């Protein structure tokens, strides 16, 4: 059996395809039956569908609708629950830059085959989101990649406001007869038959604080996503360890041996499996503490001494030094900058 048969897509994402099909006047139930998908599972927000079957659903949908912009229609049905708890983490992120990073890190919640599909390339002069489906098998249809990039646009507007604009967009798909619909949707020039599916955004815009920011909601929903992914894919040891670190940090029991025991493998096996994923336990501990620290510090309900405890530091001074190394500011300076 090919590994791709084990890949799955979240039902709440597939629901958008069904809604779009019905909106065109076709019966989505019939298409689900043709590709072997159980339509009743759409009622379960955490159910998952076979990725190869979902690709076939996209193919049938684009064939019967004959609309090159079908992917844009699918994206327009986005709702925060479409991405499970990730949708709420997105809206509660401090800025769009953090939201995009979060989506890139947790994209496998939508499709377990999608590791690395959302890439971010940034510099002082440029910020670019890239949807790269080249490594997926079966290869997704162009409309589904359109939908993925379009959903980044819809989500950005939901968090930033309707005046969010991209600078330009490139799509690998062939140029359709009606290009105006694409440029209107993205509110930017769109080029077709390009090397990548990409959207460029003003680098200054992605760092602007969002009115919807809520560090407590980010922390809670990130943990829900992390726990969900850890249970979904037992082979993803990085996500399993991250989940256990979040759980164990306040207890101070975060040694490599203790975390290995908590996921029922030996310390040596943990080291090997993390190394296979390009990670070490020390790096993962550092990254987890760093990500949580910014969320805690932005929340004025937590004192700095309490945050040090929640992150598993033995002394508040150790936390302060680590935070300054991560963000170039002391916790008090960072909090003041975030609230002023």
- Alpha carbon 20 to its chain centroid, in Å, reads 22
Token pair 């336990």: residue: 281
- Contact by Cβ (8 Å): 275, 309: no
By the 8 A CB rule, do 13 and 82 touch?
Answer: yes
- Domain span at residue 253 reads 234-339
User: Is the per-residue pLDDT at 4 higher than 50?
Assistant: no
Name residues whose C-beta falls within 8 Å of residue 118's C-beta, 6 or more positions apart in sequence.
100, 103, 104, 107, 129, 130, 131, 132, 148
**pLDDT tens readout for residues 135-179:** 888 899 999 999 999 999 999 999 999 999 999 999 999 999 999
Q: For 240-250, what is each residue's pLDDT tens digit? A: 999 999 999 99
- Average pLDDT of the residues in 213-232: 91
296 and 241 share one domain: yes
pLDDT tens sequence across 174-215: 999 999 999 999 999 999 999 999 999 999 999 999 999 999
* Cβ(159)–Cβ(210) below 8 Å: yes
Dihedral sign for Cα 219, 220, 225, 229, please.
positive
Burial state string for 111-126 with b = 16 or more CB within 10 A and e = fewer than 16: bbbbeebbeeeeeeee
Q: What is the pLDDT of residue 184?
A: 96
pLDDT at 230: 87
For the chain, strand residue ranges (E) read 8-10, 48-50, 118-122, 127-131, 168-170, 190-191, 197-201
Residue 340 pLDDT: 67
Sequential DSSP letters for 185-224: HHTS-EE-S-SSEEEEE-HHHHTSPPTT--HHHHHHHHHH
Same domain, 115 and 211: yes
Q: What does residue 171 show for φ and ψ, rounded to 5 degrees?
A: -130, 145
| % pLDDT > 70, the chain | 98
Is the domain of 116 the same as that of 249? Answer: no
The total number of structural domains in the chain stands at 2
The enclosing domain of 8 has a CATH number of: 3.90.1520
What's the CATH code of the domain at 256? 1.10.10.60
Which of 167, 194, 218 terminates a domain? The answer is 218
pLDDT given for residue 115 in this prediction: 82
User: Which tokens in the block code for residue 326?
Assistant: 């991560």
Q: In the predicted model, is pLDDT for residue 319 greater than 80?
A: yes
Give percent above pLDDT 90 in the chain. 83
Shared domain check, 197 and 64: yes
Residue 75 CA to residue 57 CA, distance in Å, equals 16
pLDDT value of residue 114: 85
- Residue 204 tokens read as 């200054």
Is 174 inside a domain boundary? yes
Instruction: Tell me, yes or no, whether 225 lies in a domain.
Output: no
Q: How far apart are alpha carbons 215 and 209 in whole angstroms?
A: 12
State whether 302 and 275 are in the same domain. Answer: yes
Looking up tokens 């987890």, which residue turns up?
A: 288
Is residue 172 assigned to a domain?
yes
Domain presence at residue 281: yes
pLDDT tens-digit series, residues 250-297: 988 789 999 999 999 999 999 999 999 899 999 999 999 999 999 999
Note the pLDDT tens digit of each residue in 38-55: 999 999 988 999 999 999
Q: What are phi and psi of 198, to 5 degrees?
A: -145, 155
User: Rounded distance, CA 111 to CA 48, Å?
Assistant: 9
């Amino acid at each position: 059996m090919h590994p791709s048969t084990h890949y799955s897509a979240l039902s709440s994402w597939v629901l958008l395809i069904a809604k779009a099909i019905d909106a065109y006047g076709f019966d989505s139930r019939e298409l689900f039956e043709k590709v072997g998908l159980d339509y009743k599972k759409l009622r379960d927000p955490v159910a998952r569908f076979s990725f190869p079957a979902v690709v076939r659903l996209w193919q049938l949908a684009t064939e019967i609708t004959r609309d090159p912009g079908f992917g844009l229609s699918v994206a327009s049905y986005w709702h925060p629950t479409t991405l499970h708890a990730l949708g709420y983490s997105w809206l509660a992120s401090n800025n769009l830059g953090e939201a995009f990073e979060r989506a890139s890190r947790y994209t496998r919640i939508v499709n377990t085959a999608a590791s690395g599909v959302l890439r971010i390339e940034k510099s002082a002069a440029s910020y670019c989101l890239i949807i790269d489906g080249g490594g997926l098998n079966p290869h997704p249809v162009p409309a589904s990649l359109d939908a993925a990039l379009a959903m980044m646009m819809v989500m950005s507007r939901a968090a930033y406001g309707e005046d969010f604009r991209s600078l330009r967009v490139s799509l690998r798909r062939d140029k359709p007869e009606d290009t105006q619909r694409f440029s209107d949707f993205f509110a930017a020039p769109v080029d077709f038959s390009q090397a990548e599916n990409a959207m460029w955004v003003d680098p200054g815009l992605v760092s602007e604080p969002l009115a919807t920011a809520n560090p407590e909601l980010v922390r809670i929903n990130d943990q829900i996503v992390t726990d969900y992914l850890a249970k979904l894919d037992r082979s993803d040891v990085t996500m399993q360890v991250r989940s256990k670190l979040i759980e164990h940090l306040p207890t101070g029991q975060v040694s490599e041996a203790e975390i290995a025991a908590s996921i029922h493998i030996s310390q040596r096996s943990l080291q090997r499996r993390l190394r296979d994923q390009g990670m070490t336990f020390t790096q993962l501990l550092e990254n987890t503490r760093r990500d949580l620290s910014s969320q805690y510090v932005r929340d004025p309900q937590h004192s700095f001494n309490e945050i040090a405890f929640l992150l598993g530091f033995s002394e508040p001074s150790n936390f302060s030094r680590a935070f300054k190394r991560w963000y170039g500011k002391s916790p008090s300076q960072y909090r003041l900058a975030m609230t002023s």
